[in-house]
Amino acid sequence: AQKVTQAQTEISVVEKEDVTLDCVYETRDTTYYLFWYKQPPSGELVFLIRRNSFDEQNEISGRYSWNFQKSTSSFNFTITASQVVDSAVYFCALTNSGNTPLVFGKGTRLSVIA
């Protein structure tokens, strides 16, 4: 069975601090896909990134960066120089195919204080 664990329930940081959101996953599949979604108070899940299991290259997109390590089954998300607009619940998700059901973690609520 697939499982995603986000051990951090809530994180609070002061604006401009860096913050890392942890994600640990479990799967028996050799091919799988990992995702991060952002859920602002409005409720919509906003897609941030998708990573394939055979591509361990880290990725940077502006202030966002992702560290994928198969050896530790982790896919961590770092926000550099956080901003108030980054305040949201962030979900890590796993699937063995893009169109099969996503298995979500319980989410991490990030509060960025001005």
Please work out the total of residues on this chain that contact another protein, with binding judged by CB under 8 A.
Answer: 23
Closest approach of another protein to the CB of residue 113, in Å: 21
Stretch that binds another protein, among 44-52, 62-70, 71-79, 80-88 (CB under 8 A): 44-52
Burial (CB count <10 Å: 0-12, 13-18, 19+), residue 84? exposed
Residue with smaller CB distance to another protein, 93 or 112: 93
Residue with smaller CB distance to another protein, 13 or 104: 104
Query: Contacting another protein (CB under 8 A), which of 3, 7, 16, 101?
Result: 101
x/- mask, another protein, residues 64-93, rule CB under 8 A, reads ---------------------------x-x
3-state SS of the chain?
A: CCEEECCCCEEEEECCCCEEECCEEECCCCCCEEEEEEECCCCCCEEEEEEECCCCCCEEECCEEEEEEHHHCEEEEEECCCCHHHCEEEEEEEECCCCCCCEECCCEEEEEEC
Positions in the binding site for another protein (CB under 8 A): 4, 35, 37, 42-47, 50, 91, 93, 97-107
